Structure 1
């Protein structure tokens, strides 16, 4: 197994468009563009759709706190129209650090909000006039005023067990970040319980974990170090969210050491605490053969469509292009 999609984090827009075109030329199925506290996602997603012809474009992610479900539905349908149906809706909670400290919005009821968000967006994208009486949203009398409706696949970046159950119950795809190949099968148990509650099959859910990925034939050590950097940044710098996730998959001591390293020496300290075992379990790094073996392990554990998360914050242009070409 190799990756089916790619995401590049914090690339400059011009470079991102070039990388997306290269990914399309290499036959990859999807490219994901996210949003944190830098470039807004919608203009980037629009330009990606306009500059590509066959690759699916996905929001990776729209958080569920700073746009209404109606806004996301309008946006998704418009983007799908621009791309002749090539848009996927990626949703997630993000984390308290971003939602509260950057957006100034209370990080409340993430599970309930996720359920209502997906139900409302799916109804709008089906062309329905939506009357909805939820705990958080009450809607009445409106349908999307569009000439054509696109029932875009909805992917959830669900990490916690209950949120994974919700994913299985009503989402089209699951795209977690920092789930190790040693933990995918256990994490999927919650997704499968959700599919049973929703009278669905696990085959109805596209399992698309984001895998930190960097590949080099000539300098595999550098490739591994860039993956180490990405893991260190998420576990060390992003509050408790990803540290707790790593702990839940058996890397508690390592997560504590990474967070302590971040507090002591920021990025360098966090990287130094990321073990080789973590690089192997969470990522696909090194030579093309080593990366392929890593993706195989994700596939054997239950992943259908792993997404290569290339650490563009650290890797240079040549290494990013080499990684995409090997994918």
Structure 2
């Protein structure tokens, strides 16, 4: 089935912003998308991945290594030829074993030839791309722990069956789930950089437009893609410009103090909230081609960064987003 163009997605501005910010700066730590079924969670993630330009890699390398870094992975990467591949988008299915995720001994070669050869897992395939986990709240906790550790370090270390293998694994981790089917542990939620709540649209016109666009894609995928090609190209230029400009973005001392004051006011545990809010606000500034992070960037990204890091008060029925908005109003007016 044809990929739905990113620019053609109706509404869901917060989700699209979170995905764009993560594409600009992978250090933000990925996106957790909670919401109703059929609200375009996986569609948006796939659409963004397909919008990005192909990446250069060494031909025959199973780890998607950049030509400039050949020789840094378990494969010899002896080929002098370079090929371009689409940005990896890897689905991690429920029930995946630790071996499937991390990689393991290639049993076929071990039994047939007596060779000890490492068979890369899903983390190697997702290197330099996206790793998407639907219904992440139903995934076994120990597997989620492994994923988050690798996503944070950018490296996968496997030591088993007489093998000791280390390879790069830098990817944008995207998880989605329905809260009604079970919640993630707070310590796991905290490891995601951004969190988005997606709801079924209430506006009738918006729902009708979604139907029209989905129908147009099914009837003539090529024509629909051509219609949105220019808009997607604009998104691509925006991301590339933001990536180039990101190192030059200035973050004034006043903004850093505002960031710390806000996190303290809402009661966010630890310092991961401050760091992620600083990075995501900087990514937003880069997307807008602004030279400096402003308080408006901070206010825009605060709900996405902090809503999943707040402690729950059983005596307070106020939602996380409302608590953040109240704190923003009290601190900054």
TM-score by length of 1: 0.31
Larger radius of gyration: 2
